[in-house]
């Protein structure tokens, strides 16, 4: 039997507001333990939460960027559970009235564009962090009360790749809107997956499992792939899938049971009586709408129509806000969109990948990349030399003009000088001359390469080609 | 000296007949001579009180203008935070908890240069109607030491009645200010929900709790209310409504004012002698030219049921933070974290608190939420509407505060349901969120009887006006216990 998977994702993103959701403490990452807290986020007796309006603005921004409707009247709710990192032993979140609902994210699959629905986005507070040490467990409440949005997708994804694409696009949108920095390593983006399988063509859902503890997009993809396979194999063995929560074990590469449905909490949600209703009016919504930047979808379309870039290149360049900005700044500094795109898609991203760095960390300035491109186009340096110059720029962040000058990398366009090198190479390689005369045109390529090498890459390649051919004819 | 009211003491200070230090020493002496019998105080801050008194005396000597409350000794219920002092809520679980911050009302009192003597005894976490549920000691009624002072703010009421403070603060979730005020023969006001910030009041039931003053008479009440009322950005349920000059409601004529008498509050369960006293009070108002109208509040009979669902549900969640992890009592031995929770909470909380946590946890559970909590919220809306409608016809509503006078210690402590019934007239007011005041209105067998005046939302002014008119006409507020 052929199976199809049903995947839904729950993403927690930390909002980039300066202060916490229910008090004035800073949200800054790190800091000495238990220094970013106060009676409110420590849950001291008598302390009361007051909703930070910025949090609502940020969450609405995410909602609007993700094509959601905004709930104009919502209330906060308490989710009750006991855990040492939860200072009140309840989390103030939203239950029946999420701030945003019914949105979507578009992904590009082989069959074309697909909309992945977003069921809801609600605001809530983060918990503290338990620190397990040899002499016992400690809790750091710096993170307690840091604002989060939980983005719950509809069960619209069918493969692990689709899930990964959804996450990538979601992350790009959250970064574009500056709602969240989405740093998975700092815990500002977390993802749980709901996975079930069913016979292809069936309209009923199978029993789902929830997978937790995935620390990268790659892990999400692998965990979902594993879980789909596990469920299909179980069904084929005649077993029943049970509703449970499973943990992804990165080293073992498998999902492991955490708790069964019977062990699931009864959170006893009820409206937070310490807070009044949150009412959002049209003016507030419109103000947030007006601050939305150009989002990845629109940007991609513009790159294709305005710059004539291929769809693939446009998708890559718009995949993160920082990369798109780098590209646009390079174009603004005078590079043609095609050249800028080729360089960024090629040398820039390759080098970043090799070093496991991201575009945010690059030392090269867009204006210097534009200048480098100009140096090639006006014949000052060759393409080969340009790659060397770029390496230098990558290390030092220096101006390419300065590098070229200091290292004497200017292109040689003097015909006589190049002809001398050509003849010298031909003298040293009689076999190549022989081959050429016998009709093996490949030999010319070899000679050109040797000439470039002898000139240390500085010879004008067009001239080299022309002169090699001329000299070969003469012999 | 200790029998005088706050406004009388202010006058003495202003005339230079007594210094704040003398006054404070005098009150501390009064406490040490009677509190062994009363049990109103859980903690006394002698040093802090005397320092403050000295400071105010110096201000006065320098000719600075001081506030009405400046230099006058008062005390605070032990569920309201005062920086550097313990806030125990009369519970073992918070026995050694020292608050690192001031409640909003504490801040306001300090701004007014109040002399804070210490913290007052109560039913554990404000759950109870007799102050017998304190984990540390019982409070006794100054009129009869064999009887309860009412609760949960029993310490706050008894301290004012016995002259151990010139005014005190309490909290009222279902009658916890008005019922003890009634039983101890003092004035107790529960303001409109949102009139006073709850920041720093250890929450019992967030949607019902309200802080309020205990005083010897209505005039004092107006002064204290004015000092502590108002919007606070730290409490989003506090109202952005301007605070009135409540003293301008004193000495006003009430001719033609409409007083509603709900017939439901005079039926079964009301002690006959108490009824007679309240009927005498109504007669006083008739004589003063008020128009007495019988009204009906049929939804009120559901108030107690609604109350025990909503209050317990909120309490079950509000009290979850007391778990022995970060502060407060922690069991000595435990296996793991769950065992730590279970043992610390089992040993740290008293029976009544545990009873309500269980009740509330049950009411919020999956499968029961709609039948209990959600339904209770709907009935709450009906009760709110009923009061709104009633205030279209009348200016205030008059009822007994409590169906009986102070009962004997131990008389009801084994029968929670009977204990709950002592709040039958006060609970609906918290459900509706309107303000109400209890005023001494008679005596039965030497024990005080209180009358409750209920006002429209944010109309504390009318309560002051109507209460003060009664006080000018009668002598009940001038009676002091013989202790």
Q: Which has the closest alpha carbon to B133: B122, B144, B143, B145?
A: B122
Q: Check pLDDT > 90 for residue B443.
A: yes
Q: Check pLDDT > 90 for residue B264.
A: yes
Q: In the numeric block, which tokens belong to residue A364?
A: 């090269």
Q: In the numeric block, which tokens belong to residue B123?
A: 């039913």
Q: pLDDT-derived band of residue B156, with 50, 70 and 90 as boundaries?
A: very high
pLDDT tens digit sequence for B327-360:
999 999 999 999 999 999 999 999 999 999 999 9
A149-153: average pLDDT = 98
B454-458: average pLDDT = 98
The CA distance from A334 to the nearest CA of chain B, in Å, is 53
Q: Check pLDDT > 90 for residue B44.
A: yes
CA–CA separation, B314 and A274 (whole Å): 10
Question: What angle (nearest 5°) sits at the alpha carbon of residue A236, between those of residues A230 and A238?
Answer: 105
B207 to chain A: which residues are within 8 Å by CB? Answer: 273
A262-281: average pLDDT = 92
Q: Check pLDDT > 90 for residue B422.
A: no
> Is B311 touching A (CB cutoff 8 A)?
no
Q: pLDDT-derived band of residue A249, with 50, 70 and 90 as boundaries?
A: very high
CA–CA separation, A445 and A436 (whole Å): 10
CB contact under 8 A, B366 and A266: yes
Bridge partners of B315?
Answer: none
Bridge partners of A149?
Answer: A13, A123
CA–CA separation, B383 and A440 (whole Å): 102
Q: What is the DSSP letter of A420?
A: H
Q: Which has the closest alpha carbon to B180: B123, B137, B237, B106?
A: B123
Q: What is the DSSP letter of B427?
A: H
Sign of the C-alpha dihedral computed for residues A71, A77, A82 and A84 taken in this order? positive
pLDDT tens digit sequence for A327-343:
999 999 999 999 999 99
Q: Check pLDDT > 90 for residue B51.
A: yes
CB atoms within 10 A of CB B418: 13
Based on the number of CB atoms within 10 Å of its own CB, is B170 exposed (0-12), middle (13-18) or buried (19 or more)? Answer: buried
pLDDT at position A461 is 85
Q: Where are the alpha helices (DSSP H) in B247-372?
A: 272-287, 303-318, 337-348, 351-364
The CA distance from B414 to the nearest CA of chain A, in Å, is 29
B94 to chain A: which residues are within 8 Å by CB? Answer: 45
Q: Check pLDDT > 80 for residue B261.
A: yes
CA–CA separation, A25 and A18 (whole Å): 8
C-beta of residue A278 within 8 angstroms of C-beta of residue A76: yes
Of the listed ranges A184-193, B22-31, B236-245, B461-470, the least confidently predicted one is A184-193
User: In whole angstroms, how far apart are CA B183 and each of A204, A468, B75, B414?
Assistant: 65, 115, 19, 20
Bridge partners of A70?
Answer: A100
pLDDT at position B420 is 85
> Is B341 touching A (CB cutoff 8 A)?
yes
pLDDT at position A437 is 85
Which residues neighbour A260 within 8 Å (Cβ) at sequence distance 6 or greater? Answer: A242, A243, A244, A245
Q: In the numeric block, which tokens belong to residue B395?
A: 């200016």
CA–CA separation, B445 and A202 (whole Å): 81
Of the listed ranges A344-358, B13-27, B47-61, B78-92, the least confidently predicted one is A344-358
Q: Which has the closest alpha carbon to B100: A191, A422, A39, A219?
A: A39
Mutate to test the interface with A, among B200, B317, B340, B381 (most CBs of A within 10 A): B317
pLDDT at position A95 is 96
CA–CA separation, B190 and B463 (whole Å): 11
> Is B357 touching A (CB cutoff 8 A)?
no
Mean pLDDT, chain B, rounded, equals 97
Of the listed ranges A70-79, A128-137, B61-70, the least confidently predicted one is A128-137
CA–CA separation, B288 and B290 (whole Å): 6
Q: Check pLDDT > 80 for residue A262.
A: no
State pTM to two decimals: 0.90
Bridge partners of A8?
Answer: A194
Mutate to test the interface with A, among B313, B319, B320, B342 (most CBs of A within 10 A): B320
CA–CA separation, B117 and B207 (whole Å): 29
CA–CA separation, B2 and A268 (whole Å): 50
B233 to chain A: which residues are within 8 Å by CB? Answer: 50
Query: Which candidate from B89, B313, B326 shows the least CB-CB separation from A270?
Result: B313
Q: Which has the closest alpha carbon to B100: A38, A236, A443, A254?
A: A38
A10-15: average pLDDT = 97
C-beta of residue A145 within 8 angstroms of C-beta of residue A126: yes
The CA distance from A48 to the nearest CA of chain B, in Å, is 6
CA–CA separation, A362 and B468 (whole Å): 76
Q: Find the closest chain B residue to A91 by CA distance.
A: B317
The CA distance from A47 to the nearest CA of chain B, in Å, is 6
Question: What angle (nearest 5°) sits at the alpha carbon of residue A408, between those of residues A404 and A409?
Answer: 60
Mutate to test the interface with B, among A20, A25, A41, A48 (most CBs of B within 10 A): A48
Query: Which candidate from B206, B234, B338 shows the least CB-CB separation from A50?
Result: B234
pLDDT at position A462 is 85
Q: Across the A/B interface, how many CB contacts are shorter than 8 Å?
A: 98
- The DSSP line for A256-295 is EEEEEGGG------EE-TTSPPEE--HHHHHHHHHT----
pLDDT at position A410 is 81
> Is B321 touching A (CB cutoff 8 A)?
yes
pLDDT at position B399 is 98
Bridge partners of A140?
Answer: A129
Query: Which candidate from A89, A268, A275 shows the least CB-CB separation from B236?
Result: A275
Question: What angle (nearest 5°) sits at the alpha carbon of residue A452, between those of residues A447 and A456?
Answer: 145
Could you tell me which residue, A378 or B64, shows the higher pLDDT?
B64
> Is A268 touching B (CB cutoff 8 A)?
yes
Q: Which has the closest alpha carbon to B87: B98, B74, B101?
A: B98
pLDDT tens digit sequence for B175-228:
999 999 999 999 999 999 999 999 999 999 999 999 999 999 999 999 999 999
Query: Which candidate from B101, B233, B316 shows the least CB-CB separation from A50?
Result: B233
The CA distance from A86 to the nearest CA of chain B, in Å, is 9
Q: In the numeric block, which tokens belong to residue B259?
A: 């007083």
A39 to chain B: which residues are within 8 Å by CB? Answer: 100-101
Bridge partners of A389?
Answer: none
B278 CB-side CA count, 13 A:
28
The residues of B that are catalytic are 77, 152, 176
Which residues neighbour B244 within 8 Å (Cβ) at sequence distance 6 or greater? Answer: B226, B460, B461
CA–CA separation, B456 and B390 (whole Å): 9
């Amino acid at each position: 039997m052929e199976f199809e998977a049903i995947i839904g994702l729950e993403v927690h993103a930390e909002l980039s507001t300066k202060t916490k959701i229910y008090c004035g403490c800073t949200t800054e990452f790190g800091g000495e333990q238990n220094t970013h807290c106060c009676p409110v986020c420590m849950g001291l007796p008598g302390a009361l939460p007051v909703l930070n309006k910025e949090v609502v603005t940020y969450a609405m921004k995410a909602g609007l960027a993700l094509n959601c409707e905004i709930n104009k009247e919502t209330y906060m709710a308490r989710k009750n559970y006991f855990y040492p990192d939860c200072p009140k032993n309840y989390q103030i979140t939203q239950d029946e009235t999420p701030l945003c609902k019914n949105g979507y994210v578009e992904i590009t699959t082989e069959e074309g564009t697909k909309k992945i629905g977003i069921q809801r986005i609600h605001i809530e507070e983060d918990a503290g962090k338990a620190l397990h040490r040899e002499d016992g467990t400690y809790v750091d409440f710096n993170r307690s009360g840091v604002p989060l949005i939980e983005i719950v997708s509809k069960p619209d994804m069918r493969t692990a790749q689709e899930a990964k694409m959804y996450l990538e696009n979601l992350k790009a949108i959250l970064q574009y809107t500056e709602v969240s920095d989405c740093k998975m390593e700092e815990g500002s983006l977390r993802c749980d997956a709901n996975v079930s399988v069913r016979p292809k063509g069936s309209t009923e859902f199978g029993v789902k499992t929830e997978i937790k503890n995935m620390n990268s997009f790659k892990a999400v993809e692998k965990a979902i792939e594993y879980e789909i396979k596990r469920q299909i194999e179980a069904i084929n063995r005649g077993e029943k899938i049970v509703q449970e929560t499973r943990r992804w074990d990165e080293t073992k590469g498998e999902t492991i049971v955490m708790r069964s449905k019977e062990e699931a909490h009864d959170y006893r949600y009820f409206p937070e009586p310490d807070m009044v209703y949150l009412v959002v009016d049209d003016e507030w919504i419109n103000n947030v709408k007006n601050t939305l930047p150009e989002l990845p979808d629109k940007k991609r379309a513009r790159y294709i129509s305005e710059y004539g870039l291929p769809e693939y290149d446009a998708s890559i360049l718009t995949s993160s806000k920082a990369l798109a900005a780098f590209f646009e700044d390079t174009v603004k500094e005078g590079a043609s969109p095609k050249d800028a795109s080729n360089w960024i898609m090629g040398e820039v991203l390759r080098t970043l990948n090799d070093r496991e760095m991201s575009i945010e960390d690059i030392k090269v300035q867009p204006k210097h990349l534009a200048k480098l491109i100009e140096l090639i186009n006006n014949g000052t340096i060759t393409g080969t030399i340009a790659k060397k110059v770029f390496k230098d720029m990558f290390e030092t962040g220096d101006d390419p003009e300065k590098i070229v000058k200091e290292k004497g990398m200017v292109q040689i366009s003097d015909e006589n000088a190049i002809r001398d090198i050509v003849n010298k190479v031909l003298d040293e390689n009689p076999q190549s001359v022989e081959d050429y005369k016998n009709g093996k045109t490949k030999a010319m390529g070899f000679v050109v390469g040797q000439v470039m090498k002898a000139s240390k890459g500085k010879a004008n390649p067009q001239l080299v080609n022309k002169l090699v051919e001329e000299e070969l004819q003469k012999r | 000296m200790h029998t005088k009211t706050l406004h009388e003491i202010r006058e003495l200070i202003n005339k230079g007949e007594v210094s704040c230090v003398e006054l404070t020493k005098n009150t501390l002496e009064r406490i040490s001579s009677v509190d062994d019998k009363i049990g109103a105080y859980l903690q006394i801050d002698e040093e802090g009180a005397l320092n403050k008194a000295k400071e105010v005396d110096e201000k006065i000597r320098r000719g600075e203008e001081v506030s009405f409350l400046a230099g006058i000794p008062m005390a605070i219920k032990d569920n309201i935070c005062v920086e550097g002092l313990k806030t125990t809520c009369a519970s073992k679980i918070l026995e050694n908890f020292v608050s690192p911050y001031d409640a909003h009302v504490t801040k306001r009192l300090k701004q007014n240069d109040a002399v804070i003597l210490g913290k007052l005894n109560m039913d554990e976490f404000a759950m109870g109607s007799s102050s017998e549920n304190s984990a540390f000691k019982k409070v006794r009624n100054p009129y009869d030491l064999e009887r309860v002072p009412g609760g949960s703010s029993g310490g706050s009421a008894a301290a004012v009645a016995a002259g151990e403070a010139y005014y005190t603060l309490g909290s009222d979730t279902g009658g916890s200010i008005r019922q003890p005020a009634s039983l101890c023969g003092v004035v107790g006001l529960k303001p409109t929900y949102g009139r006073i910030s709850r920041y720093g009041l250890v929450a019992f039931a967030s949607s019902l709790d309200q802080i309020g003053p205990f005083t010897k008479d209505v005039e004092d009440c107006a002064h204290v209310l004015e000092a502590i009322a108002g919007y606070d950005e730290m409490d989003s349920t506090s109202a952005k409504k301007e605070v009135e000059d409540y003293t301008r409601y004193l000495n006003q004529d009430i001719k033609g004012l409409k007083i509603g008498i709900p017939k439901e509050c005079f039926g079964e369960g009301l002690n006959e002698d108490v009824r007679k006293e309240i009927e005498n009070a109504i007669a006083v108002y008739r004589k003063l030219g008020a128009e007495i109208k019988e009204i009906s509040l049929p939804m009120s009979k559901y108030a107690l049921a609604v109350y025990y669902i909503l209050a317990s549900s909120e309490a079950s969640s509000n009290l979850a933070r007391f778990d022995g992890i970060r502060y407060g009592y922690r069991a000595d031995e435990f296996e793991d974290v769950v065992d730590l929770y279970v043992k610390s909470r089992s040993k740290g909380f008293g029976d009544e608190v545990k009873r309500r946590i269980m009740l509330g946890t049950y009411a919020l559970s999956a499968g029961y939420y709609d039948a209990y909590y959600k339904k209770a919220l709907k009935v709450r809306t009906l009760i709110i509407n009923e009061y709104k409608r009633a205030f279209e016809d009348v200016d205030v509503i008059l009822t007994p505060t409590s169906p009986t006078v102070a009962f004997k210690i131990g008389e009801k402590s084994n029968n929670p349901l009977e204990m709950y019934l002592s709040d039958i007239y006060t609970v609906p007011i918290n459900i509706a969120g309107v303000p109400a005041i209890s005023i001494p209105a008679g005596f039965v067998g030497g024990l005080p009887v209180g009358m409750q005046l209920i006002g429209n939302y944010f109309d504390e002014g009318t309560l002051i006006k109507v209460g003060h008119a009664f006080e000018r006409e009668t002598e009940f507020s001038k009676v002091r216990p013989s202790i």
